[in-house]
Amino acid sequence: MKPINVGLLGIGTVGGGVFAVLERNADEIARRAGREIRITAVADKDIERARSLVGGAVKVTDDALSVTRDPEIDIVVELIGGYTVAKDLALSAIESGKHFVTANKALLAVHGNEIFAAAHRRDVMVAFEAAVAGGIPIIKALREGLSANRIEWVAGIINGTTNFILSEMRDKGLSFDVVLKEAQRLGYAEADPTFDIEGVDAAHKATIMSAIAFGIPMQFDKAHIEGISQLESIDITYAGQLGYRIKLLGIARKRPEGIELRVHPALVHGSRLLASVEGAMNAVLVQADAVGATLYYGKGAGAEPTASAVIADLVDITRLHTADPEHRVPHLAFQPDQVLDVPVLPIEEAVTSYYLRMRVLDKPGVLADITRILADSNISIDAMIQREAGEGESQTDIIMLTHQTVEKNAVAAIARIEALDSVQGKVTRLRLETL
């Protein structure tokens, strides 16, 4: 049977991993796919480096559009990254009738609706397993493995850089800035780590998972995004004393009123599965009505883990290459005419519990004033630490965990607490997820 010819756009860390794994496991992959899958063209700015990696049998060029338009290419794999050039290349490949594989979460979160619509018109497939959680097959699980279920929520540790930083801050008691520098030295964090530490990367991935889980369009612009750069080590310590660990979570939750789509640091109880995910590892927890909770855990980045997901997409497309387009798995799990425009709720409407840390004057009546304000907002207290003031100190910390409430109620109550003369400065607030 005629081999499937692949054009590879970008042969950096992940692209090099794809080429290496595809060569090393060629026979095993062909046995699964039913025919040989081979990279016949590579586009990269560094032509000499690309040639040194792929040898003389593969066409190498610095003109990516020549690959997307090459009539001999069946599938185009985009591993360049970014929003702009990658989008043009995706649409060019699709318009040329090529199937398209990408690991580019930013591209799909921002331009996915346009790309999927173009692919539907041209009867070609877009596959993107590697765009979320590296080598973990979470896209396939949401799109196919759980298709009998009504998915209730998805929560994940989907950025290895921030998870490494939080693990180090807790284990070593170091500040965020110190651990970030160490993460950069070890190669876990980029020279410009903004997308990771401010939650943007996780929000791209959460947007993709929400669309597949609930059959809605990509709505990255509606996601609520908070990172970890303002997190203080004292809150990690207090959370530990209460039995919790702090993780940066991407959360998509379906409620009758709409979808919660949010990324932020959150307390997770130490007994929960996600709390034990350490270092640069990723994990996604899915709650569904029929199967209950399922956990997907593994390496969320790296050359070969990501290559594993890219090649799995190549195998899937090869198997379905000649199939009737109507019988292929839909891009967003649901049939295109069944994708619903369900609203993404503003963060003020989110329902969750809270960790509150207050610096207060050490005098009678302070705690009573605070609990009265919370009660007025129908917010009940689940646990509390009241630290003893040291000798000669006039101030101390009160730490509270609340039961679930609507975010706007918590915000209003915190504003009233901060207005008390006995409360010094701002109240530190973190969300708490029961999962």
Q: What distance in Å separates the CA atoms of residue 44 and residue 46, rounded to the nearest whole number?
A: 5
Residue 205 annotated in active site: yes
Q: Which residues contact 93 (CB under 8 A, 6 or more apart)?
A: 7, 68, 76, 78, 100
For residues 135 and 275, the answer to whether their CB atoms sit within 8 Å is no
Map tokens 């039961």 to a residue. Answer: 403
Instruction: Please tell me the distance from the alpha carbon of residue 247 to that of residue 266, in angstroms, as a whole number.
Output: 6
Q: Do residues 238 and 246 lie in contact, with contact meaning Cβ atoms separated by under 8 Å?
A: no
Give which of 302, 211, 188, 299 is closest to 261, Cα–Cα: 211
Please work out, in degrees rounded to the nearest 5, the angle formed at the alpha carbon of residue 90 by the alpha carbons of 88 and 93.
Answer: 105
Task: Let me know: does 14 contact 130? Beta carbons within 8 Å.
Answer: yes
Give me the helix-helix angle, 26-33 and 13-24, nearest 10°: 80
Q: Are 77 and 7 in contact (CB under 8 A)?
A: yes
Q: Please identify which of the residues 105, 140, 205, 247 carries the catalytic annotation.
A: 205
Query: Do residues 162 and 300 touch, judged by C-beta distance below 8 A?
Result: no
Could you tell me where the beta strands, DSSP code E, fall in 145-214?
Answer: 151-157
Q: Report the DSSP pairing between strands 395-402 and 351-361.
A: antiparallel
Query: Phi/psi of residue 374, each to 5°?
Result: -65, -40
Query: Annotated active-site positions, please?
Result: 205
